[in-house]
Amino acid sequence: MFSLLSPAPDFPPVANAGDDVTIRLPVTSVQLNGAGSTDDRFIVSYRWELTSPTDGNVVLTNLYSPVVDVTNLVDAGTYVFTLTVEDSKFQTSSNNVTVTVLEGKLGSKKQ
């Protein structure tokens, strides 16, 4: 039963890690933007992590902000990053974004 005395609802946030990205070597960096994440009140924290692969030397800079800089994507392949956001009521939401790194153009392969 709804009562005016009950606490105002505070719905969970909705994380949005942005669109999937494809880059081609020798480009080894990309910026991911989670600013499209929403909440009925406000989001208090952002956290980015590399979910897959779990090894490697990928570097995330400013991983506790809406926009993260990813560098050192030196190996061609598929990388999955997870953005987790938390609202003022400690409710969380996660969303993945995939970064595909393609080999360089034919004739420019690594030695």
Site residues for Ca ion per CB under 5 A: 10, 39-41, 87
Residue 16 CB, nearest approach to Ca ion (Å): 15
Residue 95 CB, nearest approach to Ca ion (Å): 16
Nearer to Ca ion, 73 or 93 (CB): 93
> Dihedrals φ, ψ of 11, to 5°?
-80, 155
Taking phi over 0 as left and psi of -120 to 50 as alpha, with beta for the rest, 63 belongs to: alpha
Taking phi over 0 as left and psi of -120 to 50 as alpha, with beta for the rest, 49 belongs to: beta
Nearer to Ca ion, 6 or 111 (CB): 6
Residue 1 CB, nearest approach to Ca ion (Å): 22
